[in-house]
């Protein structure tokens, strides 16, 4: 197994909920990410799936320190990064990049594509003048656009093309890891495949590591090596793609997988329908967060927080029922 590139230890992000205008009082905590631990190996793609609002995006942004963590550690290449100073972090940003979900909101409408892709080169002193122009052209070619596009503005491109520009911007600094925050969720299905193939090609070409956040299980299955399943701010199961899809252990994972449409009407299947809504992360249920919707819930589930344990080699799950 390849070396560990990024390690997240007990990462927690709580958003305080405040009342009052001048004298603010914390009246609650939104536990968006709650005690999450996992590793990403160099060169792999770790998929991160979960329902809307389960904290996937917050987790990604906290790792990049776009949000400051409440507690926990993030180790990148043997360095703890949550404690780094602004300047150390700025240097490190060349190694860690992000691609966003919304191809319309993620590009500054007042900058040309060349300026957008050139900005990281400029601020990190990677290139100037002619060399910068040349590098921007290269990057555009790498993501399947033409060098001529550098003079255009984002509104002149389609969603898929814009997403390619976002990818080129992230690639500009030669990152080691890219956090893909639902990079294809906002795209048409036909375009999704193109962008995913592009991401896979780039991974091979530049040896990139991805944390691929998505809610589409089919997409995650296609691109990931390992998959982590998140529910209400916690990772409930993490294992290789094959193991997860063939032998899911956590009841939540089972329910999610049973919801993947199978394009064959003849196949009979048991869909596990989850009842009720996702509870609010502001006051998550005690014990196992999932017990309110779990068909197998036992008394202990609402009392004790399930332990994060390795049931098979490389297969982690947090559930009282799995021994």
Partner 1 sequence: METKQRKANANIKAKATKPAQAVNLEELESLSYLQMAWRKFRRHKLAIVGAIMTIILLILAIFAPLITPYSFEELDLGNMFAPPSWDHIFGTDELGQDVFTRILYGGRISLLVGFASAFTAVVFGILIGSLAGFYGGWLDNLLMRFTDMMMTIPTLPLLIVLSSLLGGSVANIILLMIIFSWMTTARLVRGAVLTFKQQEFIEAARALGVSSGRIIFRHLLPNAMAPAVVSATLMVGGNIIWESSLSFLGLGIQPPTPSWGNMLSRAQEYIWTAPWLAVWPGLFILFTVLGFNFLGDGLRDALDPRSKLG
Kindly state the tokens that stand for 106: 């993620």
Q: Measured from the CB of residue 154, what is the shortest distance to partner 1 in angstroms?
A: 9
Is residue 62 within 8 Å of 33, Cβ to Cβ? yes
Is residue 212 within 8 Å of 223, Cβ to Cβ? yes
Q: Measured from the CB of residue 63, what is the shortest distance to partner 1 in angstroms?
A: 11
235 touching partner 1, by CB under 8 A = no
Per-residue mark of binding to partner 1, 264-303 (x: CB under 8 A)? ----------------------------------------
Kindly state the tokens that stand for 250: 């956590």
Q: Measured from the CB of residue 241, what is the shortest distance to partner 1 in angstroms?
A: 27
Of residues 149 and 289, the one with the C-beta less far from partner 1: 149
Binding residues among 160-179 for partner 1 as defined by CB under 8 A: 166, 169, 173
120 touching partner 1, by CB under 8 A = yes
Q: At what angle do helices 159-171 and 129-142 cross, to 10 degrees?
A: 130
Q: Measured from the CB of residue 11, what is the shortest distance to partner 1 in angstroms?
A: 17
d(CA 253, CA 18): 34
d(CA 138, CA 232): 41
Q: Measured from the CB of residue 55, what is the shortest distance to partner 1 in angstroms?
A: 17
Q: Is the dihedral of CA 172, 213, 89, 39 positive or negative?
A: negative
Is residue 38 within 8 Å of 31, Cβ to Cβ? no
Q: Which of 17, 123, 260, 273 binds partner 1 (CB under 8 A)?
A: 123
Tell me which DSSP letter residue 294 carries.
-
21 touching partner 1, by CB under 8 A = yes
Of residues 134 and 158, the one with the C-beta less far from partner 1: 158
Kindly state the tokens that stand for 259: 């919801």
- Concatenating the DSSP letter of every residue in 120-185 gives HHHHTTS--HHHHHHHHHHHHHHTT--GGGGGS-GGGS-HHHHHHHHHHHHHTT--SEEEEESTTT
Q: Which of 5, 33, 64, 317 binds partner 1 (CB under 8 A)?
A: 64
Q: Measured from the CB of residue 75, what is the shortest distance to partner 1 in angstroms?
A: 19
Size of the site for partner 1 (CB under 8 A): 37
Of residues 71 and 148, the one with the C-beta less far from partner 1: 148
Is residue 292 within 8 Å of 301, Cβ to Cβ? no
Q: Measured from the CB of residue 93, what is the shortest distance to partner 1 in angstroms?
A: 4
Which parts of this chain interact with partner 1 (CB under 8 A)? 21-22, 61, 64, 66, 89-91, 93-94, 96-98, 100-102, 105-112, 119-120, 123-124, 146, 148, 151-153, 156, 166, 169, 173
């Amino acid at each position: 197994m390849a070396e560990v590139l990024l390690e997240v230890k007990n990462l927690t992000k709580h958003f305080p909920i405040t009342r009052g205008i001048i004298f603010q009082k914390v009246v609650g905590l939104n536990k968006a990410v709650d005690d999450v631990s996992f590793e990403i190996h160099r060169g792999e793609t770790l998929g991160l799936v979960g329902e809307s609002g389960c904290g996937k995006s917050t987790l990604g942004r906290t790792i990049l320190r776009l949000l400051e963590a409440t507690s926990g550690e993030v180790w990148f290449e043997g360095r703890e990064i949550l404690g780094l100073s602004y300047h150390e972090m700025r240097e490190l940003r060349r190694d860690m990049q992000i691609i966003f979900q919304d191809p319309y909101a993620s590009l500054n409408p007042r900058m040309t594509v060349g300026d957008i892709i050139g900005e990281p080169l400029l601020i990190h002193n990677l290139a100037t003048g002619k060399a910068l122009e040349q590098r921007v052209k290269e990057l555009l070619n790498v993501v399947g656009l033409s060098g001529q596009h550098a003079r255009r503005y984002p509104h002149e491109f389609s969603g898929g093309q814009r997403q390619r520009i976002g990818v080129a911007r992230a690639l500009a600094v030669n990152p080691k890891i890219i956090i893909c925050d639902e990079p294809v969720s906002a795209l048409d299905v036909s375009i999704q495949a193109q962008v995913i193939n592009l991401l896979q090609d780039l991974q091979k070409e530049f040896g990139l590591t991805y944390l691929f956040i998505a809610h589409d299980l089919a997409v995650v299955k296609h691109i990931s090596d390992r998959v982590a399943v998140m529910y209400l701010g916690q990772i409930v199961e993490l294992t290789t793609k094959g193991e997860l899809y063939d032998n899911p252990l956590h009841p939540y994972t089972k329910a999610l997988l049973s919801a993947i449409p199978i394009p064959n009407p003849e196949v009979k299947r048991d869909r596990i329908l989850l009842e009720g809504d996702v509870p609010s992360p502001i006051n998550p249920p005690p014990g196992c967060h999932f017990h309110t919707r779990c068909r197998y819930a036992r008394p202990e589930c609402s009392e004790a927080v399930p332990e994060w344990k390795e049931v098979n080699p490389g297969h982690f799950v947090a559930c009282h029922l799995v021994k």
